[in-house]
Structure 1
Amino acid sequence: MKSNKVFSLLLLGAVAFGSCNSEDEPLTNPLSGENQVKFQASIGASVTTRAAGTTWNAGDAIGVYALNAGQKLPDGVYDSKSNIKYTTPTEAEQGVFTAATEGITFPETGNLDFIAYYPYRESLANNVYAIDVADQSKPAAIDLLFSNNAVNQSEPAVALQFKHQLAMLVLNVSAGDGVTSLDGLTVSIEGLKTDGTFNLADGSITTGTTVKTITPVVAASGKTATVAAILVPGQDLKDAKISFKVGDQTYEWTPDAQAVETGKKYTYPSIQLSTTGVTVVQPSATIVDWVDVEIGGIVTLKPNEGEQGSWTVAELRSKFTGTEYTITEEVKVKAVVIQNKEGGNSTSLKNIVIQDETAGIAVRFVENNETLTFGDEVEISLKDQKLSAYNGLLQINNLPNANVTKTGTKTVTAKEVTAADFLAGKYESQYVAVPNVQVVAADLEKTFATDKHGSINMEFENGGQFILFTSSYAVFKNQKVPQGSGTLKGIASINQPKDGEAVYQILPTVAADVEGLTQSRFGSSTSTLEVSP
C-alpha cells in the first residue's frame, strides 16, 4: 500500500460531537486521507498564465478524469472518477488544484493516467465539451484548455500541463493621420462560426455551423488599442469581415487566407487607422503561452464613412426634385431586393426594386440581372450614379452591375397599407399588402397577361381604383385572375406619362401574392383605368 502518498489536505478542522469523552474521536475529512491526488497545473511554457490574465484565480475549477494506465475514455475510467471537480483554493496556491468535494485516490496497485479540462462544467454528455465563443465578454469562460500529459502516474504530485484548444486573434491598433484618439473604438468580426464540440476521448475539435457576429474585447487608451478574440479552429480568416469604428468613421477589412488552427495566436501588431486608410503590417511579436503565427503582407484599406457615408433609401429619394440628379458623394445605400427573379414579373431583366425600413426605389442596371432576387440584402455604391423618373417612377438609372454587392439574405414581410395611403403614392417601390380589394367585374374573364403586358383593373371596397400589372415575362401570366376579394400583395408602383394623370399599380412578385383574394365579392364598379405602355 502506498502509505506515504498524501496528495491533498484540506484543513477543515476537527469537529467534536457529544461530550468530551475519551472515546470520542474528531471527524476525519474524507479528502485528507492517504493517496488523495493533488494537481499542479500549468499552461504551455508558463506555469500560471491563462486567458484571463497572468494568474489562476481562487476558485478556478478544472474537470479531471482518472483512467487506468494505458486505457481511454469512456471504458478506461478508474473507480467511476469521471469529471471530478478540482479547484485552486487560494491566490497563494496558484495552479495547485485540490478536490472540491469528492477526491481521487490511487489504487493499492497499478498506475493511473489523467486527463483534465478547463473551465469546469458540471455535466458533459458523452464526454463531449460544447464550444460557444459568441460571447467574448469574459474570455476565461470560453478559453478551452486541455491536459493529457499525465500518464502512468504513481507519485503524489501530479503535474498537468494544459494547452489552449481554441485560437486567438490579436490586433494592435494605433491612430494615424487625422485620428486624434481611439477611445471608444468598437470592433466586430462577421462571417466566422462560433460553435463546435471538443471530444475529451481523443482531443479532437469539430467546427460547428452557427455564424454569429463576434464582438472582441477592446482595450483602448489614447492613440493605441488592443483587440482580442478567441476563435473556433477549423476555419479561415479570409472568411471574416472585420470592422473598426471610431466615432463616425468605419473601416472594413477582410484578411488574406490564413487557416485557424488549435492553440495558435494570430497577431497583427501594427494596424494604423487614419483618414486615408488602414495599414496592416507583418507581425513580429513573441507569445509565451500560445504558439505564435506570423502573418505576412501589408494591406491598405480605404475607410467606409459609416453613417456619414451611407444613406437610407428615403434620403436617396429626397435628392430628386423633379429633374435628373447626379450623386457626387462617396456614399452607399443598404437595402433588400423585393423583385422576385423566378416570378418574372418585370418589364426587363435589367430592372430590380429595393427597399429598406424607410422607403423603396427602382433600379435599372446596365446589364441583365443574373442573380439577385427577392430577399437578397445588397449594398450599392452610388457615387456618379443618376436619379431620374420614368413615367413617374423614380429609379437609379443605368447602374453598373458591379456597383452592387450581395451581403446576405433577409425575410421580407409585406407592409399592410390603407387605400388612402396607397392611392396617395406613399409606398412607391415597396412590398405592400392592400386589403379589401377585388378585380372589377369587367375584367373577371381575363388572364393576368398574354403575349403583351397585362393591366387588370382593381377596386377598393370603400372606393378608389388601381391597376394589377403583370408583364408578359411573368411565369403566372396565363392564369385566370382571382374571382374573389381580399388582400393583394405586391410591389407598389406608379405610371404617370408626362402631363398625364398618375395611375397607381401593384405588381405581384409571384403567383402566391394573389392567393388572398378568396373571400366573397363586394359591390363592383363599372369604370376602368387607362395605363400607358
Structure 2
Amino acid sequence: MKGNYILLMSLCALCVLSFNSCKDDDTTEGTSPAVTEAVPLQLTGLTIRESTAESLDAATSRVSANKWDVNDQIGVFMLQDGTYNIAAEASNKAYFTESGDGKFLPLPMEGIDNTLYLPADGSYMDIVAYYPYKELTDNVLSVDITDQSNQAALDLMRGTPDKLAYNNANPQADLTFRRKMSQIVITMQAGDGVDETELQGTQIQLEGFHSTGSFDPIRDKLVIGENLSSVNLLVAEDGKSAMGIVLPEDEAAQRKLVIRAGYNLNGVPFTYDISEEQTFLPGRSYNFSVTFFRERIEVSTSITDWVDGGKTEGAIIDDSDSL
C-alpha cells in the first residue's frame, strides 16, 4: 500500500507540472514581449498648419511652396512627460527631410549623434520641434527679419505631436507645425500714365517694424525686441510683386511702406502709412495692392490666411541712404 501511495503521489505531481507548463505556453503564445531597450524616435508624416490665431483652422503651405523643401532641417527636443525638463542627451537635435516629403531623419553631423532615443525603462516623453534648425543659446532662438533674401529661413514654426507623450513601445510621432510669424504680400500694377515695364526695379521698404526678437520653442514663447528698423523687401524683377515676413505685433504707430517706383528711383519715394490700429497676427497674410500713377499711388488692403504666398524671385537693394 505504501508503495502504491508513493506512486500515486508521483503521478499527481507530474500532472501538476505538465498542466503548469501547458498554461505558461498558452499565456505567452502570440503575445509580444515587453520592450526593454531604448528605441529611436520616429518622426513621420509631418504637416504644416495655421498658427493658433483665432479662426485659423485650414492647412497652409510653406513660404516657398505647399510642401517642405528638400533637406529642410528642424530642431527637436524630448521632454520628461508633463514638464519642461529636457531628457538626457535630448536637446535641440537636428533632423532633416532628405526628399522634402515630411519624413524626418537625424541629420548626420561629424562627431554628433542626433538620434533621439526613447528610454529603455518605458518612461513617457513629450516631443517639441521647431523650424528652421539653428544653434541655440540657452535653448532660445534669436529672430532677425532685417535680411529678407532667404525668406524660408524666416518662416518660424513650432511643431507638436498629435499625442501627449511617447515611449519605447510607441515611438512614432506625427507633428503639426504652426506659424509664428506674419506675412506681407504686395502686388503692384500700372495705372493711367504708367507703362507696366516702368515698374521694373521698384524698391520697397518697411519702416517702423520691430526687427528682432527671441523664441523659446519649449515653452512656445515669442518675445519681441525693442529695435525698430528699415527692412528691404524682396521685390520681383518685373516690379509687380513683393513679399516679406515680419514679427507679429499689436497696434503700433508710425509703420509705413516706403515705395520707390522703377520710373522714379531718384525722386521722392511714395509712402503709405499703415493704420496705428492694425495688428499683425501669426499665420496671417497682410495683402497690399498698389496702383502706380505718375505723381501718386493708390493702395487697398486685405487680410487672409497665410495659405500659399508663392515664391518671389528678385533682388533686395539697400537704398536706405537715399531715403
**Common topology (TM > 0.5):** yes
SS in structure 2 of the partner of residue 136 of structure 1: coil
- Alpha-carbon shift at residue 281 of structure 1 (Å): 2.2
Corresponding residue to 1:95 among 75, 99, 102: 102
The question of whether the paired residues in 2 share the 8 Å contact of 1:44 and 1:289 is answered with no
Aligned residue number for residue 178 of structure 1? 193
The question of whether the paired residues in 2 share the 8 Å contact of 1:62 and 1:117 is answered with yes
SS in structure 1 of the partner of residue 133 of structure 2: coil
Distance across 2 between alignment mates of 1:227 and 1:157: 40
Corresponding residue to 1:121 among 115, 134, 159: 134
SS in structure 2 of the partner of residue 259 of structure 1: coil
Letter paired with 1:66: M
Distance across 1 between alignment mates of 2:210 and 2:69: 30
Aligned residue number for residue 79 of structure 1? 88
Distance across 1 between alignment mates of 2:308 and 2:36: 35
- Alpha-carbon shift at residue 141 of structure 1 (Å): 1.4
- Alpha-carbon shift at residue 277 of structure 1 (Å): 2.3
The question of whether the paired residues in 1 share the 8 Å contact of 2:285 and 2:303 is answered with no
Corresponding residue to 2:44 among 39, 43, 67: 39
1:340-489 to structure 2, matched below 5 A, reads: none
User: With structure 2 as the length reference, what TM-score do the two structures score?
Assistant: 0.71
* Residue 53 of structure 2 corresponds to residue 53 of structure 1: no
Q: Deviations over 1:466-505 (max 9, x none)?
A: xxxxxxxxxxxxxxxxxxxxxxxxxxxxxxxxxxxxxxxx
* Residue 207 of structure 2 corresponds to residue 190 of structure 1: yes
User: With structure 1 as the length reference, what TM-score do the two structures score?
Assistant: 0.44
Letter paired with 1:38: L
Distance across 2 between alignment mates of 1:143 and 1:190: 20
* Residue 112 of structure 2 corresponds to residue 106 of structure 1: no
- Alpha-carbon shift at residue 234 of structure 1 (Å): 2.5
Aligned residue number for residue 260 of structure 1? 280
Corresponding residue to 2:223 among 206, 215, 218: 206
Corresponding residue to 1:64 among 53, 76, 89: 76
- Alpha-carbon shift at residue 44 of structure 1 (Å): 0.5
Aligned residue number for residue 10 of structure 2? none
Percent of paired sites with the same residue: 25
Could you say which structure has the larger radius of gyration?
Answer: 1
The question of whether the paired residues in 2 share the 8 Å contact of 1:42 and 1:49 is answered with no
* Residue 159 of structure 2 corresponds to residue 147 of structure 1: yes
CA gap 1:282/1:61 in 2 versus in 1, 3 angstroms: closer
Distance across 1 between alignment mates of 2:248 and 2:305: 21
- Alpha-carbon shift at residue 180 of structure 1 (Å): 0.7
- Alpha-carbon shift at residue 164 of structure 1 (Å): 1.2
5+ residue gaps, structure 1: 6-32, 291-333, 335-406, 408-533
- Alpha-carbon shift at residue 282 of structure 1 (Å): 4.0
* Residue 241 of structure 2 corresponds to residue 226 of structure 1: yes
The question of whether the paired residues in 1 share the 8 Å contact of 2:184 and 2:243 is answered with yes
* Residue 174 of structure 2 corresponds to residue 159 of structure 1: yes
Letter paired with 1:240: R
Q: Which is helix-richer, 1 or 2?
A: 2
Distance across 2 between alignment mates of 1:60 and 1:197: 21
RMSD in angstroms over aligned alpha carbons? 2.8
The question of whether the paired residues in 2 share the 8 Å contact of 1:61 and 1:118 is answered with yes
Distance across 2 between alignment mates of 1:210 and 1:286: 27
SS in structure 2 of the partner of residue 260 of structure 1: coil
Aligned residue number for residue 288 of structure 1? 307
The question of whether the paired residues in 2 share the 8 Å contact of 1:2 and 1:35 is answered with no
The question of whether the paired residues in 1 share the 8 Å contact of 2:284 and 2:303 is answered with no
- Alpha-carbon shift at residue 49 of structure 1 (Å): 2.8
CA gap 1:237/1:281 in 2 versus in 1, 3 angstroms: farther
5+ residue gaps, structure 2: 1-32, 51-57, 108-112, 310-321
Distance across 2 between alignment mates of 1:112 and 1:104: 11
Distance across 2 between alignment mates of 1:237 and 1:139: 24
CA gap 1:132/1:284 in 2 versus in 1, 3 angstroms: closer
- Alpha-carbon shift at residue 85 of structure 1 (Å): 0.6
CA gap 1:47/1:216 in 2 versus in 1, 3 angstroms: same
CA gap 1:64/1:97 in 2 versus in 1, 3 angstroms: same
The question of whether the paired residues in 2 share the 8 Å contact of 1:48 and 1:95 is answered with no
The question of whether the paired residues in 1 share the 8 Å contact of 2:202 and 2:235 is answered with yes
Aligned residue number for residue 53 of structure 2? none
- Alpha-carbon shift at residue 189 of structure 1 (Å): 1.2
Distance across 2 between alignment mates of 1:59 and 1:286: 26
Distance across 1 between alignment mates of 2:302 and 2:140: 35
1:307-318 to structure 2, matched below 5 A, reads: none
- Alpha-carbon shift at residue 48 of structure 1 (Å): 8.2
SS in structure 2 of the partner of residue 233 of structure 1: coil
- Alpha-carbon shift at residue 66 of structure 1 (Å): 0.5
The question of whether the paired residues in 2 share the 8 Å contact of 1:69 and 1:152 is answered with yes
SS in structure 2 of the partner of residue 213 of structure 1: strand
SS in structure 2 of the partner of residue 140 of structure 1: helix
Bigger relative contact order (CA 8 A; separation at least 6):
2
Q: Deviations over 1:324-360 (max 9, x none)?
A: xxxxxxxxxx9xxxxxxxxxxxxxxxxxxxxxxxxxx
The question of whether the paired residues in 1 share the 8 Å contact of 2:74 and 2:94 is answered with yes
The question of whether the paired residues in 2 share the 8 Å contact of 1:4 and 1:34 is answered with no
Distance across 1 between alignment mates of 2:230 and 2:74: 29
Letter paired with 2:90: K
Letter paired with 2:129: A
SS in structure 1 of the partner of residue 138 of structure 2: helix
SS in structure 2 of the partner of residue 152 of structure 1: coil
- Alpha-carbon shift at residue 289 of structure 1 (Å): 6.4
Which structure 1 residue ranges, 4+ long, deviate > 6 Å from structure 2?
Answer: none
SS in structure 2 of the partner of residue 206 of structure 1: strand
